[in-house]
Amino acid sequence: MDSILSHAEHPILPTTTLAEAGAIWLARLETAGMDSIDDDDLDPTELAERDAQRHHSRQTITSYQTALILFTRWVERSGRRLVRDLRLDDLLHYTHALRKRDYDLSLRRTAQSQTASPSVKRLAPRTIHSYTRPLLGFFTLLESFEAIPFRTETVRAELARALPRLPETVAPTPPDLRRLVNFYDRPPAEDDRTARLRLIRLRNAALLHLLFSSGGRISEILSLNVGHVYRDRQVQSRVPVWSKGRRAGVLFVRRHAERALGTYVRARESLASSMPLFESYDRRTAGARLSRSSGWRIVHYAAQAVATQIELEGKHDEASLLRTTSPHTFRHFVGFYLLNEGVELAEVSQILRHRSVEVTRNFYARYKDEQLQEVHDQFSSDPYEEE
């Protein structure tokens, strides 16, 4: 880590290569907010706390790294490899290339034509934004070292006009998850044949109950350690968590989730506070933190099983909706349910830990309109009432 911190302090000159300047930018992103302390002097708990100081999540840094690699490859195709080779209109031309899809991201051109081949799928608007917008930060860093002869602000407004318009983000209507959350609570018909299988079932039950209770993101929930949730031999009703952008927040644990988590944690053989709360019990990865893909499979398996039961009851539409359930569906369910119960949008925004109320409004605007229409239909005056 000290080498990364040291690398982040390197200056950038006009003669610095784009590859080296990019490495310095990424090092700055990775160490932003972190103290310069020798890792060898820290225990695992202190390392985890230090890692939580990061201003940017690892997922964000990886996304920015991808954007940088694709852009520098595009520039280097023209034989330009130094920072001073960058031009004012590079970001605009790069954006247009992404929109036309005449820049082959895999570096394997199938045609020399500047128009996109009919067989090549165009990039989605959000993908183009994710490949372009982070580069403004890279250019701003270069500008701060006076390594480029133009100002980033000059191109920012033009870039906003060049980027494709993003579709409105609206949360899909979630299925009723109240039957799903209890799926792992009872042993199967053949009972838990071994202690390991019982522990897996209790873990899966605790995961579904915590998702249902808190509306937390799967990445937030799987990042929890035992000490975050279980202290003084009891499950905490409020659990600290770090949201997107490393913002501190709280997960609220209701009674049903407290019971499921308590049963699961007390069934484990060891309870070191630094251990992952949700860990793998597969023979190859035993003891490791449960992965997001494993969390998705746990939810998917339960959703498919419950959907099959619902289909036997003749509820085909509900079953079809349930089959699309993912861990994030629990988050949407919490948002929709709270709004349906009359909770204010600002309070729902805080519970879901959105950046602002506007983010919540954008996600649930369609639902809010439907709710307002119901209120309007119910309480508006009728011109024919007296007839």
Q: Has residue 363 got a pLDDT over 90?
A: no
Contacts of 54 (CB under 8 A, 6+ apart): 30, 31, 32, 33, 34, 246
- β-partners of residue 279 are 289
Q: Has residue 266 got a pLDDT over 60?
A: yes
Rounded CA-CA distance 26/139 in Å is 13
**Of 57 and 304, which is predicted with more confidence?**
304
Q: How confident is the model at residue 114, as a pLDDT?
A: 44
Rounded CA-CA distance 230/273 in Å is 8
Query: Percentage of the chain with pLDDT > 90?
Result: 42
Rounded CA-CA distance 243/331 in Å is 13
Q: How confident is the model at residue 99, as a pLDDT?
A: 87
* Ranges of each domain in the chain: 2-162, 195-335
Q: Please state the rounded mean pLDDT for residues 72-95.
A: 92
CATH architecture assigned to 195-335: Orthogonal Bundle (1.10)
Q: Has residue 72 got a pLDDT over 70?
A: yes
Confidence of residue 367 (pLDDT cuts 50, 70, 90): low
Of 66-80, 141-155, 205-219, 238-252, least confident by mean pLDDT is 238-252
CB 66 within 8 A of CB 131: yes
Rounded CA-CA distance 184/206 in Å is 9
Please report the beta strands in the chain, taking only residues with DSSP state E, as ranges in sequence order: 230-231, 234-235, 238-242, 248-252
Distance of CA 128 to the CA centre of its chain: 18
Q: Has residue 110 got a pLDDT over 50?
A: no
Q: How confident is the model at residue 343, as a pLDDT?
A: 85
Q: Please state the rounded mean pLDDT for residues 202-207.
A: 96
For the whole prediction, is pTM greater than 0.75? no
Q: How confident is the model at residue 218, as a pLDDT?
A: 92
Distance of CA 338 to the CA centre of its chain: 22
